[in-house]
Amino acid sequence: MRPTILNPLFAPISSLDGIGPKLEKTLTRLLKGNDEQGMARVGDLLFHLPHSIVDRRNQPGIAHAPEGAIVTLKIRVDRHQPSPRGNNRVPYRVFVHDDSGEMALVFFRGHASWLEKQLPVGEARFVSGRVEWFNGRPNMVHPDHIVSEAEFDTMPLVEPVYPLTSGLSGKVLLKAVRAALATLPELPEWQNQAVLDKRGWQSFSKSLNRIHAPRDALDIDPMSPAWQRLAYDELLAGQLALALVRSQMKKAAGKARIATGIKSQAILAALPFQLTRSQKQSVDEILADLASPERMLRLLQGDVGSGKTIVALLAMAACVESGAQAAIMAPTEILARQHMATLTPLCKAADMTIDILTGREKGKEREAIYARLANGETDILVGTHAVFQSGVEFADLGLGIIDEQHRFGVHQRLALSAKGDDTDILVMTATPIPRTLVLTFFGDMDVSKLTEKPAGRQKIQTNAISLERLGHVVDRIRAAIDAGKKVYWICPLVEESEELPVTAAEDRFKALQQILGDQVGLVHGRMKAAEKDAAMQAFKNGKIRILVATTVIEVGVDVPDATIMVIEHAERFGLAQLHQLRGRVGRGSEQSSCLLLYKTPLGEVAEARIKIMRETEDGFLIAEEDLRLRGEGEILGTRQSGTPGFSVARLEVHGELLEMARDEARMVLDQGFNGEKGESLRVLLYLFGQDEAVKLLRAG
């Protein structure tokens, strides 16, 4: 049971004054993204932290207000100049003065009655907003605040600025955050007093209030004491959850799975290449884990195109040889079907049966798959989240493999391991992960690394070109497809956005189709599964030569004869993502190239990213650089992403706190969740959404 003290934070945000169904939907989109189920809760608002401040303390007087600066001015109202009757395009102006000079307050579509009430002629007011000089005269367009002298104390002189989404204003969000803060109960202290004293940290609620009501820019710096305190709380909750999962898996007896090697030999004989040194080493490490009576929990890290799928198949074959079943789970249907296509012929060669289970298998077909799994006919299951569902029962699930692990949480790992009595777990990622991130997502897991590319793979030539030379790029692409080449063209958005001046996939598809005709196809996340499959198939078999896509093709799509990758608005992508996308080409023996199209002028961080991409293909080096450069997290689209899976912690600045949290979690586990301290830590786990870990506590 969730501690009752937390109930106000788990209430829907519609329980707050002024939040109706429409605003609830908009806030949910901002706070939870499009992936998660359910509406946002009050607590989600608390962890949506500001990225900057507006400082209204500058009161220079009209004549001394700098161009473009936000200032607060005490003015006297001289006269109103309404828009001409019937012509709303001419703004409503209110002329005002102070001791230093005169200015106009400008309102587009201004309502006369409201403005006359707000700004009565002859009276003094305080106004705050951005000053723009036009023809030598200062203007303030739509002041952010207009208050009387008596109300001046109510005007916030330092205001937090939050990441927004379309259809949401800063004022509305600020009001919602303040309403959420008002519901925050005084929570029990879960941190050790010695740590609080040493670090100069205040209580959880004081820290949260300090960030949402900053006194200056230092208060919203991730290195500020308030932010560090909250980051440590979040990291500790995560490390406790991982430690509980880990100890639960260690506690549950495993099973020694002895492989015969017969099926593995058949797979190796069917492969048109030899395994690399690190592939062989990883297979040996996994086989040793499977043969041990302890449950396996291993992470397989492999750079783009390093051959993780074959290692996974050999692990599954070893499990099948020992008499059990295996399952591999992918985050998207495209990737699951990709795995199915790669594994089916090799399974056939080794006389193993394989099935696929995604959201698309329905009715009788689904029932038949369930039956084959339950009676042990199916050796290997490939699937998406559908594998977790209640109807899915295995005869004996010996090995669960989770691909692209950073897309799945601890909860899913638990859910998959619960499908068998003593299931071994292997998690894989094509995103090389710096050590701090390995700790974050996996705790102290055993790690295998694939460091080489399979034989015959060539270096990918990477070049950066300004979007001003787009015509030249299109000419080069036309020549390439005339010569029989295949091209990926990646855009950051599905459709045009008012907030972002970037080309969307649908617009680029239409533009390229006009020039190159039916050779151009389109794939994005909002398309139906069958449409996506048809476009991918047409690209694979050469009916289309250019595939315009969003990052839906980031992982796992395998078209070996695609040799050119164009990434439009490369400055909007993170390093790890650019590296993933580039890895879609260079999968055959032909020379491949990657073109990074960028909009000028380039920011310092974007320039550094593009430079690194041109200099190296080493994913592990790129991952470390990405963490160093990421700063506050990419602002991709209009949502600030920060470190994946975290609301508060930023691992590039809080790495040291992560080590501290891991040590604290180990200590807590050794001592047990007893007394007041144990109760307060339960509150912490629920607060940061680690409910599944609390169930493990109860399970003992």
Backbone angles phi and psi of 668, in degrees to 5: -60, -45
Q: What is the CATH number of domain 57-155?
A: 2.40.50.140
Closest CA to 342 of 563, 540, 580: 540
Residue 246, pLDDT score? 73
Backbone angles phi and psi of 427, in degrees to 5: -110, 140
Interatomic CA distance for residues 1 and 6, integer angstroms:
11
Complete DSSP assignment for 141-152: ES-SEEE-TTTG
| Segments of the chain with pLDDT less than 70 | 33-37, 249-253, 304, 404-416, 431-444, 454-456, 494-503, 552-557, 627, 630-645, 692, 696-700
Interatomic CA distance for residues 564 and 585, integer angstroms:
6
Sign of the alpha-carbon torsion through 181, 184, 190, 196: positive
Residue 633, pLDDT score? 33
CA–CA distances in Å: residue 383 to residues 120, 298, 308, 327, 354:
68, 20, 17, 8, 11
Interatomic CA distance for residues 45 and 248, integer angstroms:
33
Contact partners, residue 598, CB within 8 Å, separation at least 6: 464, 465, 466, 467, 569, 570, 571, 606, 610
Residue 649: how many other CB atoms lie within 10 Å: 26
Tokens 């006194």 correspond to 215
pTM (2 d.p.): 0.61
Closest CA to 216 of 400, 57, 384: 57
Interatomic CA distance for residues 316 and 628, integer angstroms:
36
At CA 234, angle to CA 228 and CA 236, rounded to 5? 100
Residue 220, pLDDT score? 92
Closest CA to 190 of 220, 244, 229: 229
Q: Which two tokens stand for residue 123?
A: 């009276």
Give start-end residues of each CATH 2.40.50.140 domain in the chain: 57-155
Alpha helices (H) along 183-302: 193-199, 204-212, 225-251, 262-270, 277-291
Residue burial 586-623, b: 16+ Cβ < 10 Å; e: rest: bbbeeebbbbbbbbeebeeebeebbebbeeebebeebb
Three-state DSSP class for residue 554:
coil
Q: Which two tokens stand for residue 164?
A: 């927004």
Backbone angles phi and psi of 197, in degrees to 5: -65, -45
Interatomic CA distance for residues 430 and 450, integer angstroms:
10
Closest CA to 413 of 391, 439, 386, 442: 442
What superfamily does domain 460-616 belong to in CATH?
P-loop containing nucleotide triphosphate hydrolases (3.40.50.300)
Complete DSSP assignment for 561-617: TEEEEEEETGGGS-HHHHHHHHTTS--SSS-EEEEEEEPSSPPHHHHHHHHHHHH--
Q: Which two tokens stand for residue 166?
A: 């379309």
Residue 635, pLDDT score? 23
Closest CA to 26 of 7, 54, 6, 45: 45
Interatomic CA distance for residues 534 and 622, integer angstroms:
34
Closest CA to 130 of 164, 93, 105: 105
CA–CA distances in Å: residue 322 to residues 264, 343, 401, 422:
12, 19, 17, 14
Residue 453 · residue 305 · CB < 8 Å = yes
Residue 466, pLDDT score? 94
Interatomic CA distance for residues 235 and 241, integer angstroms:
10
Complete DSSP assignment for 606-623: HHHHHHHHHH---HHHHH
Bridge partner residues of 301 (DSSP) = 429, 449
Task: State which H helix or E strand residue 511 sits in.
Answer: helix 505-516
Residue 699: how many other CB atoms lie within 10 Å: 9
Residue 672, pLDDT score? 82
Interatomic CA distance for residues 259 and 657, integer angstroms:
42
Residue 35, pLDDT score? 44
Closest CA to 311 of 280, 352, 353, 269: 280
Contact partners, residue 521, CB within 8 Å, separation at least 6: 509, 535, 538, 539, 544, 546, 547, 548
What superfamily does domain 254-450 belong to in CATH?
P-loop containing nucleotide triphosphate hydrolases (3.40.50.300)
CA–CA distances in Å: residue 192 to residues 162, 233, 234, 665:
31, 12, 15, 12
In tens, the pLDDT along 30-43 reads 887 644 557 889 99
Q: Which two tokens stand for residue 372?
A: 């084959």
Contact partners, residue 487, CB within 8 Å, separation at least 6: 477, 480, 481, 545, 546, 547, 562, 563, 564, 565, 566
Task: State which H helix or E strand residue 328 sits in.
Answer: strand 325-329
Residue 324 · residue 286 · CB < 8 Å = no
CA 239 to the chain's CA centroid: 20
Bridge partner residues of 548 (DSSP) = 489, 522
Closest CA to 311 of 372, 267, 251: 267
At CA 164, angle to CA 433 and CA 216, rounded to 5? 85
In tens, the pLDDT along 296-319 reads 888 898 876 788 899 999 999 999
Three-state DSSP class for residue 91:
coil
Give start-end residues of each CATH 3.40.50.300 domain in the chain: 254-450, 460-616
Mean pLDDT for the chain?
86
Closest CA to 461 of 546, 562, 586: 586
